[in-house]
Amino acid sequence: MVGRSKTLHGPYLDDKGLDMKTAGGKLVIAGDQNWHGVGHNVVVRLDDNDYLVFHGYDAKDEGRAKLRIEKITWDNAGWAQIKKY
C-alpha cells in the first residue's frame, strides 16, 4: 500500500484522495494463486530505472521464499505501477 503527503505528519492520501488512516491506500503488489505473502519491499534506482525488490513465496515450488525484482513504471500522476507478475 502506498500513499503520499505534502508534509511529514500527513495526512497520507491514496490516488483516490482517501486517507490511509481510514482504509485508504493504493495497492502496488498483492499475492495471488502463484505467489503468496509478497512484500517487505524496497525501491532501488539503477541506470535511471526504478525497481521494486521484494520477497514472495512460490506456490509452484512448495512455497519456497524467493527474491523478486520488478520494474516500476509511473503513471501521469506520479503513482507507481507494477505489471502483473
How confident is residue 22, by pLDDT bands cut at 50, 70 and 90?
very high
- Is there a contact between 41 and 50 (Cβ–Cβ < 8 Å)? no
Mean of all residue pLDDT scores within the chain: 95
pLDDT for residue 39 is more than 60 = yes
Q: What range defines the domain where residue 75 resides? A: 29-82
What the block records as the C-alpha cell of 37 is 505473502
In a domain, 19, yes or no: no
In a domain, 15, yes or no: no
In a domain, 6, yes or no: no
In a domain, 1, yes or no: no
Interatomic CA distance for residues 45 and 80, integer angstroms: 13
In a domain, 51, yes or no: yes
Number of domains in the chain: 1
In a domain, 18, yes or no: no
In a domain, 17, yes or no: no
Average pLDDT score over residue span 20-31:
93
